[in-house]
Amino acid sequence: MHGWEFWAPGVHTGPLAASATADRRALVGTWLMYPSRLQSITNEKFLRNPIESTTAPKGLDHFDQPTAVKMPSHKTFRTKQKLAKAQKQNRPIPQWIRLRTGNTIRYNAKRRHWRKSKLGI
């Protein structure tokens, strides 16, 4: 018995099997949440060709529901400004600066890696 074979006997394995299994799980999840709305979709049709019937019927998306409250932004504008400045500063020295007469700057000593040192914002 492989994965969903108890629900859909005879499902073949192959390159499209993973996506078909994911689509089948999505349909089963939708059926469990909205059993009365999915009477038009029959299991026989889905088992015959799981690739064609992967889309759920219209009106089942949770994004269609009206939002009651608008969410505020996570970052303030000041934080975004600081992140933008840090992003602009985190670059190598341009080649033309190295070519100037009497220049001793060879590399950017203040380069920052996103994992090694944090900004502290």
Average pLDDT per 10 consecutive residues for the chain, totaling 121 residues: 52 58 64 58 58 57 66 94 97 94 93 95 86
**Annotation: CATH topology of 72-113:** Atp Synthase Epsilon Chain; Chain: I; (1.10.1620)
| pLDDT score recorded for residue 121 | 86
Concatenated DSSP letters of 17-63: HHHHHHHHHHHHHHHHH-TTTTSSS-HHHHHH-TTTT-SPPTT--GG
| pLDDT score recorded for residue 62 | 60
| pLDDT score recorded for residue 91 | 97
Q: How far is Cα 5 from Cα 23, in angstroms, rounded to an integer?
A: 14
15: helix, strand or coil: coil
Q: With a threshold of 0.75, does the pTM exceed it? A: no
Name the average pLDDT for the chain. Answer: 74
Q: Greatest CA span in the chain, whole angstroms? A: 80
Domain ranges of the chain: 17-64, 72-113
What is the amino acid identity at position 120? G
- pLDDT per position as a tens digit, 71-104: 889 999 999 999 999 999 999 999 999 999 899 9
